[in-house]
Structure 1
Amino acid sequence: MLDTAVPDLGQVLDALGSSMLRPLTVLPDRPVPVSGVLIFERRAPLPPVRDAILLAVGVGSAEAQAKELVGSAAEAGYACLVVKSFGEPVTELVAAAQRSGIVLLAADEAVAWHHLDAMISSALASTARCAQAGGAPAVGDLFALANAIAGMVGGATVIEDPHRRILAYSTLPGQAIDEGRRQGILGLQVPVAPDYYDEQYRVLAQVGRTCRFPAVPGGLPRLGVAVRAGSEELGSIWVVNAEDCLDSAAEQALSEVADIVSLHLLAARTAVHGVRRRRAELLRRLFADPSSVTAVAPQLGLDPNLPVAVAAFAVAANDAEEVLAAHAATRLADLVSLHCEAHYGRHGCALIDGTVYALLPNAHRELVADIARRAHSALRVPVQAGLGSLVQGLRSIASSRADADLVLRTLTDRLGNPNPCQVATIDEVWASATLSALAQILAAQEALPRRLGPAVRAHDLQHGTTYASTILAYLDANSDIAAASHRLSVHPNTIRYRLSRAEEIFGFDLADPDQRLVLWLRLRLGDQLGY
């Protein structure tokens, strides 16, 4: 069994993030202890350091030496080997690592080896420290740290991540704050401001010391310092200099405390990742297997028999914004969790496949709308929220989740809606939701004849005709020729001629109500069906 004071490889990878290190071999089911990190020296013998991480500096992944190093490292008892591929094939190296029983990791080629060394060392220190303290520091510990900094330096303090999200803030009485600070605390995000804010962050990112910043309009002066592990920026610390009286000693104290904060941020990131993953696993299990409620509900702190509704939140983004949306979804999960905890105490809230799900003790639409508005304001991205039906206990939670998902899908299908914050319940969008559900059914039924819809659109595309839009306008107008002609700005006889020709070409009968219904559905749902 792994000593709780010894860092685990999984914890280290969680702390560093997948962009820094990614596994090339499958991680073992058992814990993998990590004792330290070493840099490989080509001309020196490999020291036998058990459970260490070995950085294969200067060794190409396709070189014969790389495979030899895999075997030597495994024999010497190393926990894992880290390589950079630079686009070279790694298949043979992965096979060698699997045969030797050593974990093989790939490092980001853009990260310098000395930077990676510093990052791993910081992650090891933070995870070891939190293990000795009985667990990783919680968010509350960051708040305690912010209070300690505020008392030491002499001004109200906030700790932020690299994306200007406020992780913690001080609450010492008597320390002045300004409106920007109040708004930031409200949304846990630095509010949008003119370019002078951006300039302050640019300056802070370029220097390795505490910086002084003058008051912005409506604000107070500040001291700021970047928090780093190696050369990676983990965040920043900002102290309000209300009377402009913080001296050089305060600057020095803030610079010195940045190293302590970096360890806390690394450890907190590890803890948060673990909590998120665990909560998502529990909620996913509850959705998939209602019979697991007896085991899962106590771990989520929920009463399995109380009425509950599922709220689903998502960031609306196009493909070009996929990376931004993924990051925003994580921040959205934190905001939803914070607001739900403030209203209900312990709760079920998790990010699953890009959607944030929250279990609410009642179908509280106003709360869902308020969370969505605050999230949109804080994250500056479009946010959609769907509220499922209220069910009598967690055993029926899957149906409420299905409702919430259907509402989200319906909101997404609303083309051209300018509202950046859309919220609805299943009862409010029942008609559109029904069409969305029908679209899924039609898309899945490949055996159904597809000529009523795809064939019409394909003919229009090939021949430059307008049969699809004409038929749809006619059916949308309840078979009113005059209304359809007005909608399309053409003569009624033109509508009659197009409809007659369409019946001849495609072989349907508009006098048949069933055919009219299916034809309308296929044309109406064409975008959702992929044609």
Structure 2
Amino acid sequence: MELPESPTLDGTSEELFALANAIAAVIGGSVAIEDLDHRVLAYSSLPGQRIDELRRRGILNRRVPDQPEQLRQYRDVLAATGVVRLAVLAPDELPRAAVAIRAGDLPLGTIWAIEADTPIDADGGRALLDGARLAALHMLRRRSAAELEMRAHEDALRGALDGGWGPEEARFRLGLPDRPRLTLLGLAPAGVPERGVPLAVRLSAAAARHWAAVHAESAVATVGRTVYVLLPHDSPATARRLAEQAVAALGRTLDATVRAAVSRQAADPAELPELRAEVDDILRVTTTDPDAPPVSDLAATHARVLLVHLSDQLARRPGLRHPGIDAMVEHDRARGTDYAASVTAWLDAVGNVAEAAQRLTVHPNTLKYRLRRARELFGIDLDHPDDRLSCWLQLRLQRQPPAPVADPAT
């Protein structure tokens, strides 16, 4: 399989290819320069260089093939301050040495060199380290103009999400078309939020790189743990497909579970704060549910979102709670009774005593007795539909952990 004779990868100048050739001339094997998303930015093309099939596929696909074991190798290389020699991961793979590309403490990418017939020597190590320093300067120079534009869009989107801009100002700052079809995506790491978790920081950086590569007209901004992505003119189906692709790609890059929320579509930039609230609600319930789908919208999460808002209201105004429910739950806790579970099972079964008794593994007469005693002891009226609904909601919220409130803007 022949490699392209005239390499022209998008966004990469000939300088990086020349640098890869210079390193390969010292080491003797094929050299690839990659970004943090494992995309091949440049590669050496010297006659007779040592190369294997994995490198050929990476060059032709412009991305290193995903291998679970290789993710650990990337972490080792990015954590090291010098050259790292790596074990082969397959029988047909040749030994490699790699080095991180950094600007100060900021990681930018990696350089991977296939070793010659003999292990890399001091000259080869120096060539890799010098190459990493030169690659960093080149990558920073090429990033500067693009990052200025990206930062401007990020600030504009953050202001629009906060309601800081009027519709026309938001339209101008975000470069929106006259008749936009606005869809807001939200991306957040799954799991209970923890203050200062590096995963949220890594997600922000990885998401910015991802969307810059796959959707030039998107605007990306991070607030707290959530990465917001504004798509100005995609259909709902396209927005969902892009969200699914982003979750899969970012999950592989970060070796973590990422959830995405897709808002309804809007035509007015003034609605962006509402779209943000919708996305926040969806993520609030899906990031704490290990069984939630990777991508969700409000239609799929409406019931849980409604319960979360009701829980918030009861927490803010405890006087709205039915005092008999709290008394019943406390009675069960103190005396080991099962009144709350019995009432909940009966309500879940929509008043079907036989079905509720079967769920509780008790005789139907036992359940009838407990329901009668619940009315007598705690004043719970299960005959009135409004009271039944009120009791069921409060009991339903009792048995699920509260969803965390979205992080405030920072």
Shorter-chain TM band: 0.7 to 0.9
Cα displacement string for residues 208-246 of structure 1 (whole angstroms, at most 9, x for unaligned residues): 4x455464315343232345678x684663234287599
**What secondary structure does 1:158 align onto?**
strand
Q: Which of these residues, 329, 350, 361, is aligned with residue 221 of structure 2?
A: 350
> How many angstroms apart in 2 are the aligned matches of 1:437 and 1:184?
50
Report the count of equivalent residues.
Answer: 379
> How many angstroms apart in 2 are the aligned matches of 1:521 and 1:441?
12
Equivalence map 1:439-518=2 (5 Å): 439-451=311-323, 453-518=325-390
Q: Which of these residues, 207, 226, 232, is aligned with residue 333 of structure 1?
A: 207
Q: What's the counterpart of residue 287 of structure 1?
A: 161
What is the one-letter code of the residue matched to 1:390?
Answer: Q
> How many angstroms apart in 2 are the aligned matches of 1:473 and 1:501?
15
Is 1:253 the counterpart of 2:127 in the alignment? yes
Residue 484 (structure 1) shift: 0.6
What is the one-letter code of the residue matched to 1:317?
Answer: G
TM-score calculated relative to the size of structure 1: 0.60
Cα displacement string for residues 225-272 of structure 1 (whole angstroms, at most 9, x for unaligned residues): 345678x68466323428759975554322223334455678899999
Residue 513 (structure 1) shift: 1.0
Contact 2:101–2:111 under 8 Å retained in 1: no
Q: What's the counterpart of residue 378 of structure 1?
A: 253
Q: Which of these residues, 19, 24, 32, is aligned with residue 149 of structure 1?
A: 19
Contact 1:485–1:491 under 8 Å retained in 2: yes
**What secondary structure does 2:389 align onto?**
helix
TM-score calculated relative to the size of structure 2: 0.75
Residue 306 (structure 1) shift: 1.0
Equivalence map 1:398-477=2 (5 Å): 398-412=273-287, 414=289, 417=291, 422-451=294-323, 453-477=325-349
Residue 521 (structure 1) shift: 0.7
Q: Which of these residues, 367, 373, 395, is aligned with residue 523 of structure 1?
A: 395
Cα displacement string for residues 174-216 of structure 1 (whole angstroms, at most 9, x for unaligned residues): 896754896799898994533x8747865896674x4554643
Residue 412 (structure 1) shift: 3.6
Cα displacement string for residues 267-312 of structure 1 (whole angstroms, at most 9, x for unaligned residues): 8999998777654432222123275232233333322531111111
**What secondary structure does 1:169 align onto?**
strand
Is 1:369 the counterpart of 2:244 in the alignment? yes
Contact 1:188–1:378 under 8 Å retained in 2: no
> How many angstroms apart in 2 are the aligned matches of 1:156 and 1:438?
58
Q: Which of these residues, 162, 166, 187, is aligned with residue 313 of structure 1?
A: 187
Is 1:391 the counterpart of 2:266 in the alignment? yes
> How many angstroms apart in 2 are the aligned matches of 1:328 and 1:287?
22
Residue 440 (structure 1) shift: 3.2
Contact 1:212–1:223 under 8 Å retained in 2: yes
**What secondary structure does 2:264 align onto?**
coil
Contact 2:328–2:340 under 8 Å retained in 1: yes
Contact 2:97–2:120 under 8 Å retained in 1: no
Contact 2:346–2:356 under 8 Å retained in 1: yes
Cα displacement string for residues 99-144 of structure 1 (whole angstroms, at most 9, x for unaligned residues): xxxxxxxxxxxxxxxxxxxxxxxxxxxxxxxxxxxxxxxx957x76
**What secondary structure does 2:265 align onto?**
coil
Change (3 A) 1:409 1:229: closer
**What secondary structure does 1:510 align onto?**
coil
> How many angstroms apart in 2 are the aligned matches of 1:157 and 1:303?
40
Residue 476 (structure 1) shift: 0.5
> How many angstroms apart in 2 are the aligned matches of 1:156 and 1:297?
45
Residue 388 (structure 1) shift: 0.9
> How many angstroms apart in 1 are the aligned matches of 2:307 and 2:78?
52
> How many angstroms apart in 2 are the aligned matches of 1:303 and 1:483?
57
Change (3 A) 1:274 1:182: farther
Residue 400 (structure 1) shift: 2.5
Residue 335 (structure 1) shift: 5.0
Q: What's the counterpart of residue 71 of structure 1?
A: none
**What secondary structure does 2:273 align onto?**
helix
**What secondary structure does 1:386 align onto?**
strand
Change (3 A) 1:510 1:383: same
> How many angstroms apart in 1 are the aligned matches of 2:85 and 2:22?
17
Residue 477 (structure 1) shift: 0.3
**What secondary structure does 1:150 align onto?**
helix
What is the one-letter code of the residue matched to 2:190?
Answer: A
Change (3 A) 1:250 1:280: same
Q: What's the counterpart of residue 241 of structure 1?
A: 114
Q: What's the counterpart of residue 5 of structure 2?
A: none
Contact 1:146–1:168 under 8 Å retained in 2: no
Change (3 A) 1:234 1:335: closer
> How many angstroms apart in 2 are the aligned matches of 1:292 and 1:431?
32
Cα displacement string for residues 325-378 of structure 1 (whole angstroms, at most 9, x for unaligned residues): 32343244225523xx524x2222111121111112232222212221222222
Change (3 A) 1:265 1:470: farther
* Structure 2 stretches lacking a partner, 5+ long: 1-9, 25-29, 404-410
Contact 1:311–1:358 under 8 Å retained in 2: yes
**What secondary structure does 1:388 align onto?**
strand
Residue 169 (structure 1) shift: 2.4
**What secondary structure does 2:296 align onto?**
strand
> How many angstroms apart in 2 are the aligned matches of 1:225 and 1:216?
18
Give the share of equivalent positions with the same residue, in percent.
Answer: 27
Change (3 A) 1:168 1:278: farther
What is the one-letter code of the residue matched to 1:237?
Answer: T
